[in-house]
Structure 1
Amino acid sequence: MILCFPEVSVTASLISFLIAITILTLTPGFDTALILRTSAANGWRKAAMTALGINLGCLVWGAAVGFGLGALLLASELAYNLLKIAGAIYLLWLGLGLLRHPRSSLVTPETDKSNSQGYGAFFMKGFLGNLLNPKVGVFYVSFLPQFIPADASVALWSIAMAATHDVIGLSWAAVLIASTQFFAGHLRRPAVMKIMDRLTGLVFIGFAARLALSRR
């Protein structure tokens, strides 16, 4: 007699994970704010690079969990706090930059520093914003193992689930970018751009404060 309980377990794990990670992806956060702002101010191509950077960060965290490195954040208070402080400082720097130098118009690349930045700079902005957030690491450490079937490869499943998260994340990023581009004409008005940059700066500073004051 052949039993099929392992396959049922795997299927149940996959369905549960897909539902949970989709809900979490759609929940607004720093990543959403960064993609929306980049799409409106710098165009869909640079927003797409930002989204790729964010999702590479997720993949790195998934690999870290799979190979046991992510557990360091749970075991070491020092490691967690150092990464938390670095992430908070980075978000604060981004937020203050938008508050101090909000864009008021679409100018030429020669006179606008943000437009003169290459695609790699926007990729790294998304990547670092994700990688320097220890809450993402702690989330992956506590979240992913719940959906790994018994006797399965932790490394393989962790990376596969992180990759699945990337697919969902990139799909949602495409929706965000497309919706922003639809209203691009209105969003790029001088007054709207200045307000948008300042509001985004405040959001980034808020995320920095929340990260700095957070506990595991």
Structure 2
Amino acid sequence: MDSLGIQHYEAFLLASLALNLTPGLDTFYILTRSGREGHGVGLAAALGINAGCIVHTLAAVLGISAILMTSAFAFSMLKYLGAAYLVWIGLRMLLSRSTTRQPTETRGRGLSAAFRQGMLTNVLNPKVALFFLAFLPQFVSMHAMHPQLGLMLLGLSFIGTGLTWSTVLALMGGRIHRLLTAKPHVGQWMDRLCGSVLVAFGVKLALQQRS
């Protein structure tokens, strides 16, 4: 650990666990997808979200995320793209008239769509990029031999705790899915609720500032 410059690793893990347990867009999205299409789709959503975290980790290590901190234009562009994407997903759920999910969709397109949407909602959120840029360096000495490797290890550790909690959420959503399968009309109302919340998340993201 000395050559990587990592400091207070145990405190970092505790902080990572606490942050991952805090409910937010990721929590809501995983529960929504697994609740409507089963725990398999929920796991795909979790993998997509954590794949997005890998992108943010690499961006922080390479210094790309620093551009978002110094460039108002870059921050705004990414922010509005992410907001528009969330609103688009939410509106699709609001306008959907289906009350059931075909098995082939859950096994095929449902998995790929959940992974892709989970990854994009994470990657297109500039606040997540700035979080990785601000959070990881607090536990790494930049005077070490390989601080970039230290940042990468911390990012992967954060993703590890996040993926563990995400898996639990997907399994919890699978229980909701069994209930909705027996009562399709409840699932339709859930689509309306979830669509509204995703639109609200999109609007909130669009109004966020860098500070």
TM-score, normalising length from structure 1?
Answer: 0.87
Rounded to whole Å, the distance in 2 between the matches of 1:198 and 1:115 is 23
Q: Which one of the candidate residues 154, 158, 164 is aligned to 1:165?
A: 158
Q: Could you tell me which residue of structure 2 aligns to residue 3 of structure 1? A: none
Q: Could you tell me which residue of structure 2 aligns to residue 72 of structure 1? A: 67
Q: Secondary structure at the match of 1:215?
A: coil
Q: Could you tell me which residue of structure 2 aligns to residue 178 of structure 1? A: 171
Query: What is the number of equivalent residue pairs in this alignment?
Result: 206
Rounded to whole Å, the distance in 1 between the matches of 2:197 and 2:174 is 21
Check whether the contact 1:39–1:177 (CA below 8 A) recurs between aligned residues. yes
Check whether the contact 2:83–2:203 (CA below 8 A) recurs between aligned residues. yes
Rounded to whole Å, the distance in 1 between the matches of 2:52 and 2:45 is 11
How far off its partner does 1:207 sit? 0.9
Rounded to whole Å, the distance in 1 between the matches of 2:126 and 2:79 is 6
Deviates more, 1:143-152 or 1:53-62: 143-152
Cα 1:125/1:77, change in 2 over 3 Å: same
Matched, 1:121 2:116: no
Q: Secondary structure at the match of 1:95?
A: helix
Name the amino acid aligned to 2:46: A
What are the superposed Cα offsets for residues 86-145 of structure 1, whole Å, 9 maximum, x if unpaired? 000000001111111154234464xxx777625332211111110000010011111111
Rounded to whole Å, the distance in 1 between the matches of 2:124 and 2:201 is 13
Rounded to whole Å, the distance in 2 between the matches of 1:129 and 1:150 is 30
Matched, 1:144 2:132: no
Rounded to whole Å, the distance in 1 between the matches of 2:7 and 2:70 is 31
TM-score, normalising length from structure 2?
Answer: 0.89
Gaps of 5+ in 1: 1-5
Check whether the contact 1:47–1:122 (CA below 8 A) recurs between aligned residues. yes
What are the superposed Cα offsets for residues 146-169 of structure 1, whole Å, 9 maximum, x if unpaired? 111352333212221111111111
Q: Could you tell me which residue of structure 2 aligns to residue 196 of structure 1? A: 190
Gaps of 5+ in 2: none
Matched, 1:48 2:43: yes
Name the amino acid aligned to 2:115: F
Larger radius of gyration: 1
How far off its partner does 1:195 sit? 1.5
How far off its partner does 1:185 sit? 2.3
Q: Secondary structure at the match of 2:87?
A: helix
Rounded to whole Å, the distance in 1 between the matches of 2:175 and 2:103 is 22
Name the amino acid aligned to 1:158: L
Name the amino acid aligned to 2:58: A
Q: Could you tell me which residue of structure 2 aligns to residue 135 of structure 1? A: 127
Name the amino acid aligned to 2:129: G
Rounded to whole Å, the distance in 2 between the matches of 1:75 and 1:122 is 32
Give the root-mean-square deviation of aligned CA atoms. Answer: 2.1
Check whether the contact 1:84–1:134 (CA below 8 A) recurs between aligned residues. yes
Cα 1:142/1:10, change in 2 over 3 Å: closer
